[in-house]
Amino acid sequence: MAQQITSGIKISVETKFEGSFLKENILHYAFMYFITIENQSKNIVQLLTRHWKISEAIFRTSYINGVGIVGKKPILKPGDSHKYQSGSLVTSPMACMSGSFIMVNFSNAKKFNVLVPSFKLNAPHILN
């Protein structure tokens, strides 16, 4: 499990390999990732946007930016947590993801950046 705390917001990430398949004659690897966002601060915050960097072992990097997470922009009171799962499809059996969430602090209306720790997307058979 990868974890990181930024400005009182703790991000925890776990991953799971889902399998591989051919798509347009190219082998793809499917991964699920499970993220927990915990508000350890004293303020009410809301997640606004997400930003991902996916680095594959074949020296290919892609970036994903979007509003919210899986269609939601959760509001977290102090002590609250929000869990969600999503997935990534890559063309390398080894990759890593990192990123950030832009959040807003309701007490002062200021936006701030919360880092998502780098986490690995490794197909189990590649590690043997």
Three-class SS state of 83: strand
For the entire predicted model, the pTM comes to 0.91
Count the domains in the chain: 1
What's the pLDDT at 57? Answer: 87
Question: Do residues 98 and 56 make contact, with C-beta atoms less than 8 angstroms apart?
Answer: no
For 2-26, the pLDDT digits (tens) are 999 999 999 999 999 999 999 889 8
Q: Which of 36, 47, 39, 101 is nearest to 74 (CA)?
A: 47
Question: Do residues 105 and 43 make contact, with C-beta atoms less than 8 angstroms apart?
Answer: yes
Q: Rounded distance, CA 94 to CA 56, Å?
A: 6
For 37-68, the pLDDT digits (tens) are 999 999 999 999 999 999 998 888 999 999 99
For 69-86, the pLDDT digits (tens) are 999 999 999 999 999 999
For residue 88 the two structure tokens come to: 């990534």
CATH of the domain at 82: 2.60.40.1470
Q: Rounded distance, CA 31 to CA 90, Å?
A: 8
**Kind of pairing between the strands at 45-56 and 94-105:** antiparallel
Answer whether residue 128 shows pLDDT above 80: no
Range of the domain at 96: 2-127
Buried-state track 89-108, b at ≥16 Cβ within 10 A, e below 16:
ebebbbbbbbbbbbbbbeee
Q: Rounded distance, CA 12 to CA 51, Å?
A: 16
